[in-house]
Amino acid sequence: MSLVKVFMCFFIFYSLTIASELKKVTVQLNWKHQFEHAGFYAAIDKGFYNDVGLEVHLVEKQSGKSTFDEVMNKNADFAVGYSSLILDYYLGNPVVLLASIFQHSPLVFLSKQDSNIRTVSDMLGKRVMINPKSKSSASLNVMLINEGLSYDEMTLLDHNYSTKDLINGKTDVISAYISNQPFDLISKGIPYNVIDPVNYGFDFYENIIFSHKDLVSSNPELVNNFLSATLKGWRYALDNENEIIDLILEKYTKVKSKEALKYEANIIKKSLISKNIPIGNISENRILRIINLYDELGFINEKSANIKDLIYNYDKIKFSKEQQDWISKNPQVYFSGNPNWLPYEAFIDGKYIGVVSEHLNLIEEYTGLKFIKVPTVSWSESINFARKKYIDVLSETTSSILKNELSFTKSYLSSPIVMVMKKSESYKNSIFDILDKKIAVIKDYGYVSEVKRIYPDLNYKEVDNIQDGLLSIENEELDVLLCALPQASYWINKYSLQNVRIVGKTKFEASLAFGVRSDYKILVEILNKAISKIPQIKQQAILNSWTKVKYKQKVDYTMLWVVLIITFSIILLLFFRHKALSNHNKELTHLSEVDPLTKIYNRAKLNSLLYEQLNLFKRYKITFGIIILDIDHFKSVNDTYGHNIGDSVLVEFVNILKDNIRDVDYLGRWGGEEFLVVCPRIDEIGIMEVARKLRNVINAHSFNKVGKKTASFGLTVCTKETSIKELIKNADNALYQVKHNGRDGITFS
């Protein structure tokens, strides 16, 4: 038997052995294969499930089979369901909600535009295609009941889940997913109306991953591993939608066209998954709001059940009331790190990757915080951003040069500082063995200051980065490079450097931690709790994933091969240098988008969001609205109390707005004491409700040192082809009527 055959037999045997060790898990989907299940496909294809010892099988929804019953009868381990799961829980069923992929329900009513059926009341006496007993119809049922309309007052038709009967006039209204059926109408050039529960105040979770209480109780590790891998799959799918669309068409289904899947992915990313909320998040407060709605409409007879048993919290951390309040008021945290410190971290094409990135993902899941990653072109620039408080958190080491300027978390990962020298050098026991050498150290690295403090008289030469340091050893310009073990191993193997090696380790360590701005001490407490929650086995798995596959085997074939590799490495290094220099003068995203005082979007970012919404309207006829609001008589605040108090009132005002707009809305500072709210997927009824709610909470609030303040509102909704300039003009005109014509505090244009 040839060596190749022996190897193949061994490989097949090894693969079968690994596969047999995987735990088989079944997931019952709530519909057919399409992009709404993209996270599962990504997690399977990218090996995220295999990494945690799971083999996941997906089962499409079958006619006549209940997704909920499949889990309750233990035919499936996990499933995808709807907000009606809350009702199932109150009926005594042992259901546990693990994660909500959609933060907003995609379920709506559709009618043709020429039918003039635009509101719930217009549906009276009409033919409606819906399955009212389906669990997926919960948000539609609640909306109808709240508007005083009964299915008895309509002609109900069996649902065939197609737009054909709507197009042919056999029905007046159909229930539909906003991410699916509208594409059929758009592709045929048929204008349509959307009646959305969100506009009537019913903003439900949907596509909720759930399981049986018995499984959650008996095997929490399996549940946690499944959930972590699934959410990782969703993050990958959202960042690589075209790849996942091709995967769906290749391996799962060709029922939907590539264009239809792209439409679905676009709506899911823009309308159903919030940019400001971690993927899969389930808020206890929001669940309580949904329960109260069900209670008010008579769906629940009593609310005594403990909802903590309903929401999965295996990895949830018990935060104090003060810490919970801080997270609620500061859901986004601005973060940066070293753009060139793999395998620990790096910014590659604007994406933040590496060991630290994987830890941040876990901290997001544990805390509910969202880390906004701010790219930089150098470590020095990252340090400068931290000093100027452009960012809130910096990826650091415990021996940082910023010890007196930042507050530091506990360390979550440590690695020894090693000595890298020419291959011909013998083993070194300590720094005492290199006292006469020219020693390369990387500029601004924290452990370097510690080394210099203890050994101040050595011959140190600063280099800008790890690549320069290694090449200085390779080219015999310097004798020794001091750097962290994982970093040295990673780059020696990545560049296939043949003339350098690790010759020993020092007593120093690079202990990873987070440096937090000094006025955010409570954030340090929050991060420490999350760091303590990360299992050591998971940390080791993260480190392995960034060191195992990425190393190249160092084989000395011929001198020509060595020369080629070194030449390629130098070219690659020059390429990255050129790219960094070309990007150096680009304005950073967070500076160009965020108002420095209130930490909400500025005018430039609001304009880009408005154009994005207008493009959605032009392509898919999804309406959106604008609210311009102005604090009344604000000049008197500055004149009476001074600008510092005025600024604090603006910040307090913004916090009220953030807490009371819809999760899907965007808030920004339009100028001075004027603010703008962009409201996707909304009509005249919905935007008026949003404005009234804001006015009521503002009127009821007593501002620090200033007392009561009021605000005026100008509203408009995009329902036809127009321009951003015209929409802003309409909202401004409405605001003018309020301010100058003695109109009510809210006026619609």
The 10s digit of each residue's pLDDT in 8-44 is 444 444 444 444 578 999 999 999 999 999 999 999 9
Distance from C-alpha of 233 to C-alpha of 99, rounded to nearest angstrom: 13
Tell me which residue range forms the domain holding 686. 594-748
For residue 529, being part of any structural domain is answered with: no
Residue 439 three-state SS: strand
- For tokens 């709404």, the residue is 36
For residue 19, being part of any structural domain is answered with: no
Q: What is the CATH number of the domain that holds 215?
A: 3.40.190.10
pLDDT digits (tens, 9 = 90+) for 178-224: 999 999 999 999 999 999 988 887 888 999 999 999 998 888 889 98
Distance from C-alpha of 236 to C-alpha of 240, rounded to nearest angstrom: 6
Q: Are residues 549 and 428 in the same domain?
A: yes
Distance from C-alpha of 99 to C-alpha of 685, rounded to nearest angstrom: 30
- For tokens 């506009």, the residue is 199
Q: Are residues 99 and 111 in the same domain?
A: no
Report the percent of the chain where pLDDT is more than 90.
45
Q: Are residues 700 and 630 in the same domain?
A: yes
Does pTM surpass 0.85?
A: no
Identify any residues that bridge with 483 across adjacent strands, giving them in sequence order.
418
Q: Are residues 35 and 79 in the same domain?
A: yes
Q: Are residues 55 and 167 in the same domain?
A: no
- Take residue 364 and report the two structure tokens written for it: 């997001």
pLDDT digits (tens, 9 = 90+) for 585-600: 444 555 568 888 888 9
Q: pLDDT confidence of 668, banded at 50, 70, 90?
A: very high
Q: State the alpha helices, DSSP H only, in 188-253.
A: 213-218, 220-239, 241-251
Q: Please tell me the predicted confidence (pLDDT) of residue 647.
A: 86
Q: Are residues 454 and 569 in the same domain?
A: yes
Distance from C-alpha of 449 to C-alpha of 440, rounded to nearest angstrom: 13
For residue 523, being part of any structural domain is answered with: no
- Take residue 218 and report the two structure tokens written for it: 């008996």
Distance from C-alpha of 419 to C-alpha of 430, rounded to nearest angstrom: 9
For residue 6, being part of any structural domain is answered with: no
pLDDT digits (tens, 9 = 90+) for 71-130: 999 999 999 999 889 989 988 899 999 999 998 888 999 999 999 999 999 999 999 999
CB 627 within 8 A of CB 691: yes
For residue 345, being part of any structural domain is answered with: yes
Distance from C-alpha of 163 to C-alpha of 261, rounded to nearest angstrom: 17
Residue type, 634: F
Q: Are residues 356 and 303 in the same domain?
A: no
The whole-chain average pLDDT of the chain stands at 85
End position of a domain, from candidates 258, 276, 309: 309
End position of a domain, from candidates 184, 200, 216: 200
Q: pLDDT confidence of 460, banded at 50, 70, 90?
A: very high
pLDDT digits (tens, 9 = 90+) for 408-420: 999 888 888 999 9
Q: Are residues 93 and 124 in the same domain?
A: no
Q: Which of 130, 135, 296 has its CA nearest to residue 208?
A: 135
Q: Are residues 243 and 388 in the same domain?
A: no
Q: Which of 747, 748, 640 has its CA nearest to residue 703?
A: 640
Q: Are residues 401 and 440 in the same domain?
A: no
Distance from C-alpha of 446 to C-alpha of 510, rounded to nearest angstrom: 8
653, pLDDT greater than 80:
yes
Number of independent structural domains in the chain: 5
CB 481 within 8 A of CB 440: yes
End position of a domain, from candidates 152, 174, 200: 200
For residue 670, being part of any structural domain is answered with: yes
Q: Are residues 631 and 702 in the same domain?
A: yes
Distance from C-alpha of 310 to C-alpha of 287, rounded to nearest angstrom: 10
558, pLDDT greater than 90:
no
Q: Are residues 637 and 705 in the same domain?
A: yes
